[in-house]
């Protein structure tokens, strides 16, 4: 699996130290094992996990600004865990409402010795952002409007929303509520992943 990951990273033009690659592979191995009992992801093949979970997450990293992030609706830690591995100087709060997912994340934190993640079981509307975050990341929300409506209290004054999407979500952008604007739309290139991927970066227009 390490050789496959190395080839994918080479195809994407991403260079990582060996210990980070080993951590990413160990995470996939844990996810694959836990998935058989807890159904954490619909992806069953570890090599497919490397593409759809690992690469699909870490291609976002160059576009993140700040050092404190929250991954809302993280599920089994996506994209938060891969991002935390490749960005060790930043901290990632991993928020999910389901206990089985958070238990898995705590085991990941323990086994991979990830000191820069904090798994939290909570609904997003009940979670206090103290202090506020530099970035709110998610690939879980059905729409951009849902994301900003549920997460509006999480970013700081200069904070941003980072939404991982498939096709460019022009209809969702048009439907954004007043007070929020698109700062940038990045077309992401993920080796061996079928279909389009986009990162939509949003900001609040504070008065």
Vertex 63 angle, CA 12 and 81, to 5°: 75
182 annotated as ligand-binding: no
Contact 138, 147 (CB under 8 A): yes
Task: Starting at the earlier edge strand, list the strands of the sheet with 155-165.
Answer: 117-121, 91-96, 68-72, 133-138, 155-165, 197-204, 180-188
Gap between the terminal Cα atoms of the chain: 50
186 is known to lie in a ligand binding site: no
Helix 99-112 vs helix 18-38: crossing angle, to nearest 10? 150
| 73 annotated to a ligand binding site | yes
CA 1, distance to chain mean position in Å, is: 21
Q: Which residues are annotated as a binding site?
A: 73, 78, 124-125, 139
Binding residues for S-adenosyl-L-methionine: 73, 78, 124-125, 139
């Amino acid at each position: 699996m390490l050789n496959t990951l190395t080839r994918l990273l080479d195809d994407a033009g991403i260079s990582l130290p060996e210990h980070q690659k080993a951590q990413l592979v160990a995470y996939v191995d844990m996810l694959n094992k836990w998935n058989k009992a807890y159904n954490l992801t619909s992806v069953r093949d570890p090599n497919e996990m490397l593409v759809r979970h690992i690469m699909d997450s870490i291609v976002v990293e160059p576009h993140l600004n700040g050092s404190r992030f929250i991954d809302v609706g993280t599920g089994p830690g996506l994209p938060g865990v891969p991002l935390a591995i490749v960005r060790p100087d930043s901290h990632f709060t991993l928020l999910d409402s389901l206990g089985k997912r958070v238990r898995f994340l705590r085991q990941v934190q323990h086994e991979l010795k990830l000191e820069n993640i904090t798994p939290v079981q909570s609904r997003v509307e009940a979670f206090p952002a103290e202090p506020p975050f530099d970035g709110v990341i998610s690939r879980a929300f059905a729409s951009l409007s849902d994301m900003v409506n549920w997460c509006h209290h999480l970013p700081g004054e200069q904070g941003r929303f980072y939404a991982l999407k498939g096709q460019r979500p022009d209809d969702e952008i048009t439907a954004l509520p007043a007070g929020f604007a698109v700062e940038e739309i990045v077309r992401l290139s993920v080796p061996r992943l079928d279909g389009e991927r986009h990162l939509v970066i949003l900001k609040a227009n504070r008065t």
